[in-house]
């Protein structure tokens, strides 16, 4: 066992398991999990699944190899912790039971190697965007969840996939602007919970900025950048996982 902590978000695994790009994305992710076995912790900071919804007696079979990979990591002694994002907020107990993962609420603060780290998926950090925030409140409400349980799983996942495609098309165009806007307000806005570090996902562009003793991190994504954050010896490093070895990508 070593004391290294890893953070990762926005893998967006889909249920299109026959897609070549999806297969490659999964292969590299599972290789990454093997490479970090016996690390202290792995934090998965939202949108690991492009859509996740558990019925009382039905769970998504599309992600069986991902769940098995996480279970293997947990069995090595690594503490696996996961929070929902805007695509996979609706976790039940299956990941806890099958993968040995701890489910975290959004905006969780943990003490790690001398840092007080605030973890959030980050989809609520942008100023404005009132339409999205209103929609999020609705689809996470108890009536909406109850209604979703009445829909056949195949239909619900097909609808979610179509919605995800349109959402990604919009957010891709906003990625750089959002990263710049969040970085601009980070020092004044994101260290008010007694934290000296904020780690977020949602924006698919890896970025690390230091403001004296404070650190602001956007984890990026696994679809394009294969990016993750590593904390070892009290030092943060933003890196990319690649076949030929990991690469420092700290200030993109």
251, with CB counted inside 10 A (0-12, 13-18, 19+), is exposed
Residue found under tokens 């290789």: 31
C-beta of residue 79 within 8 angstroms of C-beta of residue 99: no
Whole-model pTM?
Answer: 0.85
C-beta of residue 8 within 8 angstroms of C-beta of residue 44: yes
Residues 6+ apart with CB under 8 A from 235: none
Q: How far apart are CA 183 and CA 185, in angstroms?
A: 6
Buried b (16+ CB within 10 A) or exposed e, 88-124: bbbbeebbeeebbbeebebeeebebeebebbbbbbbe
Q: What are the 10-residue block averages of pLDDT along the chain, 252 residues in total?
A: 92 84 94 96 94 71 90 96 83 86 94 97 75 50 55 62 56 79 95 96 94 96 94 96 66 52
Q: What is the pLDDT of residue 134?
A: 47
DSSP class of 101: P
Q: Give, in order, the Cα–Cα distances in Å from 15 to each of 18, 50, 77, 168, 213.
A: 9, 8, 29, 16, 41
Q: Which CATH number is 5-248 given?
A: 3.60.21.10
């Amino acid at each position: 066992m070593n004391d290294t902590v890893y953070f990762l978000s926005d893998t967006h695994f889909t249920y299109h398991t026959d897609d070549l790009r999806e297969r490659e994305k999964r292969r590299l992710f599972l290789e990454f999990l093997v490479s970090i076995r016996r690390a202290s912790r792995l934090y998965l900071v939202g949108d690991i699944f492009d859509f996740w919804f558990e019925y009382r007696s039905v769970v998504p079979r599309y992600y069986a190899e991902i769940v098995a990979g996480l279970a293997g990591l947990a069995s090595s002694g690594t503490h696996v912790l996961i929070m929902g994002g805007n695509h996979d907020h609706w976790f039940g107990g299956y990941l806890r039971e099958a993968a040995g993962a701890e489910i975290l609420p959004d905006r969780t603060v943990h003490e790690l190697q001398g840092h007080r780290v605030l973890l959030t998926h980050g989809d609520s950090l942008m100023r404005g965007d009132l339409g999205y925030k209103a929609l999020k409140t609705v689809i996470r409400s108890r009536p909406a969840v109850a209604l979703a349980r009445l829909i056949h799983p195949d239909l619900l996942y097909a609808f979610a996939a179509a919605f995800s495609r349109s959402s990604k098309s919009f957010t891709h165009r906003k990625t750089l602007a959002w990263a710049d806007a969040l970085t601009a307000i980070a020092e004044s806005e994101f260290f008010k919970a007694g934290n000296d570090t904020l780690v977020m996902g949602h924006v698919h562009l890896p970025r690390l900025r230091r403001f004296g003793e404070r650190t602001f991190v956007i984890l990026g994504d696994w679809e394009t950048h294969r990016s993750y954050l590593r904390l070892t010896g009290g030092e943060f490093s933003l890196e990319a996982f690649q076949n030929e070895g990991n690469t420092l990508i700290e200030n993109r």
